[in-house]
Amino acid sequence: MINLFEYLNYREFLRDAYEERHAGDWRFSHRYIAEKAGFDSSMFNKILQGKRNITDRLVSTFAEIFCKDEREKTYFANMVAFNQAKNHSESRQYLEKLVATKECKVENLAKDQFEYFDHWYHAVIRELVTFYPYVGDDAALGLMVRPPITASQVKSSIALLERLSMIKKNEQTGFYEQTQGLISSGTESYSTAVNSYIQQNLNVAQTALDRFGHTERNLSTLAFGCDENTYKELVEMFRRFRREVLAKVAACEKPNRVFQLGMQFFPLSDPYPPPQRRGRKRRIRGQETLDSKESLNDSEEGENV
């Protein structure tokens, strides 16, 4: 029997819960769900495919069909809100509600993952211990970080990295070293946690201009116009460059400093001409266009029904 609290994606839960019920009762079908929900029989499949989001009314309807008690209904509602969140803050808010559920089997993993990405300096400490002979001098290690962090922050960071099996103490040398341990979880919690990490690193980057001279930093920015095909080619170029950087870093035998490389690539304008949309009409430079909600087709963002 499937356990709702093992899920972070409501579409995956609905798919598995439906298949389990349908296997035991052939009358439990898409048509049956459509009658209960008051929509077309094809709509449930579109929801599972991520082509449609669900409204508050359907959250209650699906909760009545697939949840056993009020606790499960609350978890299901939070899971839907998490998956359909419009921004990072909202996404994080609902993920924290999910992992706060005591029986949630993703709780420990998600909390550890959140804790790791919640502070930018955990990644710095993980790199520092590969060449700094840390043997418990928390304050000294904290002063190696730019900007510096406190001894208590270093202590908690070391404890977290050990718990995640990302570092371990070498019994022969007494020093810490990296391991192959990696955080693994569903893509939903991962992206939400990483967004927080990226935001923090952007804040750290803002102060780099004041903290380092031009010989110790290399900062630049570009603004340019291009089309969709060029955009895709540039994204692939960035991916290749990242792989080349990782290969070069892996070949470095004696690192002595931790660096951050940030690459941000995002639009600074809407496309022109704008895409045609359903809804009220508007004019742009004499060209009549239509405004309405866009149809979104990825696994987490779809039209509400």
What is the per-residue pLDDT across 36-76, written as a single tens digit (0 to 9) for each?
999 988 999 999 999 999 999 999 999 999 999 999 999 99
Average pLDDT over residues 262-267: 82
Sequence-ordered list of residues with C-beta below 8 angstroms from that of 208, at least 6 positions apart, any chain = 217, 219
Whether residue 208 sits in one domain with residue 135: yes
Report yes or no: 120 and 82 within 8 Å, Cβ to Cβ: no
Whether residue 122 sits in one domain with residue 213: yes
Residue 113 pLDDT greater than 70, yes or no: no
Whole-structure pTM over 0.85, yes or no?
A: no
263 lies in a domain?
A: no
Task: Give the chain's count of helices (H) and strands (E).
Answer: 13, 6
- Residue 95 parent element (H or E): helix 88-99
Whether residue 154 sits in one domain with residue 126: yes
Q: Residue 284 burial by CB count (10 A; 0-12/13-18/19+): exposed, middle or buried?
A: exposed
- Amino acid 201: pLDDT: 73
Sequence-ordered list of residues with C-beta below 8 angstroms from that of 64, at least 6 positions apart, any chain = 36, 73
Whether residue 246 sits in one domain with residue 127: yes
108 lies in a domain?
A: no
What is the average pLDDT value for the chain, to the nearest integer?
Answer: 80
CB atoms within 10 A of CB 151: 14
Whether residue 173 sits in one domain with residue 81: no
- Amino acid 155: pLDDT: 95
Whether residue 60 sits in one domain with residue 143: no
- Amino acid 156: pLDDT: 94
- Amino acid 215: pLDDT: 82
The two three-digit tokens of residue 14, written as one number: 């609905």
- Residue 178 parent element (H or E): strand 176-178
91 lies in a domain?
A: no
Whether residue 145 sits in one domain with residue 192: yes
Helix axes of 70-83 and 56-66: crossing angle, nearest 10 degrees: 140
Average pLDDT over residues 257-270: 83
Whether residue 189 sits in one domain with residue 234: yes
Domain encompassing residue 282: 1-86+268-305
pLDDT band at 81 (very low <50, low <70, confident <90, very high): very high
Three-state SS at 198: helix
3-state helix, strand, coil in the chain (%, to 5): 50, 5, 40
Report yes or no: 276 and 289 within 8 Å, Cβ to Cβ: yes
Report yes or no: 91 and 105 within 8 Å, Cβ to Cβ: no
Residue 296 pLDDT greater than 50, yes or no: no
64 lies in a domain?
A: yes
| CA geometry: angle 249, 114, 117, nearest 5 deg | 30
Nearest partner of 6 among 105, 113, 107, 103, judged by Cα: 105
Whether residue 121 sits in one domain with residue 245: yes
Residue 110 pLDDT greater than 60, yes or no: no
State the number of CA atoms in the 13 A half-sphere of 224 facing the CB: 9
Distance CA(28)–CA(24), nearest Å, equals: 8
Cα 295 to Cα 52, 152, 192, 214, distances in angstroms: 8, 48, 23, 46
Distance CA(96)–CA(77), nearest Å, equals: 13
98 lies in a domain?
A: no
Pick 154 or 171 by higher pLDDT.
154
Which range of 26-30, 196-200, 202-206, 296-300 scores highest in mean pLDDT? It is: 26-30
Whether residue 144 sits in one domain with residue 18: no
- Residue 283 parent element (H or E): strand 280-284
- Amino acid 196: pLDDT: 66
255 lies in a domain?
A: no
- Amino acid 166: pLDDT: 85
Whether residue 235 sits in one domain with residue 161: yes
Distance CA(75)–CA(102), nearest Å, equals: 11
**At which residue do the structure tokens 């706060």 appear?**
100
27 lies in a domain?
A: yes
Which range of 27-41, 199-213, 238-252 scores highest in mean pLDDT? It is: 27-41
pLDDT band at 103 (very low <50, low <70, confident <90, very high): low
Residue 117 pLDDT greater than 70, yes or no: yes
Average pLDDT over residues 74-96: 84
Sequence-ordered list of residues with C-beta below 8 angstroms from that of 234, at least 6 positions apart, any chain = 226, 265
Whether residue 26 sits in one domain with residue 132: no
109 lies in a domain?
A: no
What is the per-residue pLDDT across 127-162, written as a single tens digit (0 to 9) for each?
898 889 898 899 999 999 989 999 999 999 999 899
Residue 285 pLDDT greater than 80, yes or no: no
State the number of CA atoms in the 13 A half-sphere of 297 facing the CB: 0
In total, how many domains does the chain have?
A: 2
Percent of residues, the chain, with pLDDT higher than 90 = 33
Terminal-to-terminal C-alpha distance of the chain:
29
